[in-house]
Every structure is written in structure tokens, then in C-alpha cells.
Amino acid sequence: MAPVPATTDSSPSLYSIPPVLAMLAVIPFVYVGYRVFRYTKLKHFRLAPIRTLFALLHSIAIYLIAPFFYSPDLTRYINRWTVVTGGTDGIGKAYTIELARRGLRKFVLIGRNQEKLSDVKTLLELSFGCRVKTYLFDFAKDDFEQLREYISNIDVGFVVNSVGVGRENLERYGDNPAADRQILKINGLGAAEFLSIVLPAMEKAGGGQIVVLSSSQGYRPIPLLAAYSASKAVMSFLCEAIDREYKTISVQCLTPALIATKMVYYTKGGLFVVTPEQFAKQAVNTIGLTSKTSGCFNHEIQVRDRSFIFFYLFMYCMCSIYVLYVLQTSTRNRHGTCRSTVKKKHH
């Protein structure tokens, strides 16, 4: 899931920015218009609508037509363990509940908050009659070798890897080293290390299915969210490689856009933002259909736009965001407010 920078109530409003400075933010938009006009002369650009049409048809087939004729076969995993990271909140929790609703009954929940682990455990046991184990583990500092030993003794058939952290503010890479380090360590190295733990156990047990939560921000490098987009790109590339390396293990990479969770400060779904429950229901339907998808139709349409909008055009759009960031930062400094750091919630 892709996080969205947010300001606290104590931060100054953009309306407090001097008008002359605010007008500077318009310049990049004018330049974007010029670049669009220039790109229309390129032969490659004229082919973009065709690619976009095929991408749209593919999205319609997967999310609107396929559900009438296809349902993922999860019966092979009913008597095997489903291991979940990041399953105590947001997308991971909703995805776990959706799997239980569809018949899976054995879960291993891995997270760093024992109270939340116990709450989800109780929910699964009372609502669905599941057998649930919990494993207390902090992906930022705990021993992966101990986790490896624990997983090696389990018949793992299904894995949901949704551990991750986000950040509250737009920041240049290097301005907040602690936040950058934690994002890369948990979202990238930690999530990747976890896959190296479950793969041998799954292969030994006869294979299975892995679902990894990446982000649409992993498709392209995002200025001011460099560490986050880089960590998600790591997982996207890793998933594609692993899916080809293991014959008995299928790996699906989910690349959603905005989802109404605590990480992005949205509480309701809409046209571009969906709820975790809406996302999980559609995402589970795509198991076995595709190895990489946004997880829901709303987000797939947004992500498919990259077939039409060139990367460089996107980068020019980001210039406007950067200008607003600079103006916002200068205003915040004048008011004496402090800079936000990494979101500390990870499960």
C-alpha cells in the first residue's frame, strides 16, 4: 500500500504561503503542458493509446469478467498453515479475514504487537473456528535465524507477506537518515529476508502460494519518497524472479495505490481510495490468474495509466510537488514546527 504524506494540526496551512511564492508552483504545470505537446510528435507516443486500450481490456477481463467464471482453488491449503506478516492491521488483517471467510482454517500470525496479535487470533477463532498460532517478532531488530528455525518446522502452504512501514512527510533522501534506514530495513531487507525463510519450508512441503504486498509506488522512483519507492521496487523485482525460479511455488505481487488505512490517514473508500475489505475481496479473486496486479479494479486502472503517461512526463509532474514541498518546509520552519519522522507502526 502506498503511504501519503500528511501534516499535523500544528503545521501551517498552504494558504499561509505568500502569494508570490505560491505562484511559483504554477511554473512546473506550464512546463508539463509544453512537454505533453512536444511528446505528441513522437511516434512512440502515438502507440500509447493502443497499449492503454489493451491494458484496459486486460483489467476488465481480470476484475469484472473473470469472477463470473473463475474462483481461486484454496482447498489445497485448508490442512496446511497460512503464515501472515502485517496481519494485525489494515490490508494484511483484511486479507487474512478474507482467506478465513473462504475456508482456510490454520494461521500463523507474525507481528511485534502481542495485544493486536491476540485480538486477531481471537477474532479468527470465534468467527471462523480457526486454529491460530502467534509469533512475536520485530522485523527491525529481532533475530531472523530464530524465525527461520520456527518456520522450518511448519507445513507452510500459503504466505501473506504484508509487513511494512510508511512515512508521514515528503522528505529528500538523506534529510532523515533514521526514517530512510528503517523503511529500507523493514520494507526491503526484512520483507525479502522473510521470503528466504518461507521458501525452503514451502518447497519441502510440496509448494504453495505466496502473496506479497508491494505498492504502485514501486513502479517508478518517486522523488521525496525515495526510500519507500525503492523498497517496494525491491519486492516487485524479487517476486517476479522467485515466481520463475520455483516450479512448485507461485508468487503474486500486489501493487495497490491508496487504501483507507491508518498509514495514509484515509478512513473512507471512494473512487480512487478503497477500503481494506474491498481490496482484499477483489485481490483474493486474482490468485491463480496473474502474478502481478494492483489487487482491485479501481487501482488497476490508475496503475495502467503508466502505459499512456511517459515516465519523464510523470517526473515533470513531480516537480510541482517538490515546489510545494519546499514552500511548505520553509513555512513550517518559520513557524518553528518540527519535522515528522517515519511512521512507527509496523506489524
Q: The pTM is what?
A: 0.76
pLDDT at 196 over 50: yes
For strand 156-161 and strand 131-136, is the pairing parallel, antiparallel, or unpaired? unpaired
Q: Give the active site residue among 63, 77, 228, 325.
A: 228
What does the pLDDT read at residue 20?
Answer: 52
pLDDT at 14 over 50: no
What is the distance between the alpha carbons of residues 102 and 98, in angstroms, rounded to a whole number? 6
pLDDT 10s digits, 20-67:
554 555 555 555 555 555 555 555 555 666 767 777 788 888 888 888
pLDDT at 344 over 50: no
Task: Name, of 114-128, 157-171, 204-218, the range with top average pLDDT.
Answer: 114-128
What does the pLDDT read at residue 5?
Answer: 43
Average pLDDT of the chain, as a whole number:
79
Which has more confidence, 50 or 229? 229
Do residues 137 and 110 lie in contact, with contact meaning Cβ atoms separated by under 8 Å?
yes
Contacts of 46 (CB under 8 A, 6+ apart): 40
Local confidence band at 317 (pLDDT 50, 70, 90 cut-offs)? low
Quote the CATH superfamily of domain 58-304: NAD(P)-binding Rossmann-like Domain (3.40.50.720)
What is the distance between the alpha carbons of residues 9 and 7, in angstroms, rounded to a whole number? 7
What does the pLDDT read at residue 215?
Answer: 84
What does the pLDDT read at residue 141?
Answer: 87
Q: Sheet of 249-254: strands edge to edge?
A: 131-136, 106-111, 81-85, 156-161, 208-213, 249-254, 292-293
What does the pLDDT read at residue 119?
Answer: 96
Q: Is 228 an active-site residue?
A: yes
Mean pLDDT across the stretch 291-300?
Answer: 83
Round to the nearest angstrom and report the end-to-end CA distance of the chain. Answer: 14
Local confidence band at 3 (pLDDT 50, 70, 90 cut-offs)? very low
Instruction: Give the three-class secondary structure for 292.
Output: strand
Local confidence band at 330 (pLDDT 50, 70, 90 cut-offs)? low
What is the distance between the alpha carbons of residues 295 and 132, in angstroms, rounded to a whole number? 26
Do residues 242 and 192 lie in contact, with contact meaning Cβ atoms separated by under 8 Å?
no
Contacts of 41 (CB under 8 A, 6+ apart): none
Mean pLDDT across the stretch 327-336?
Answer: 54
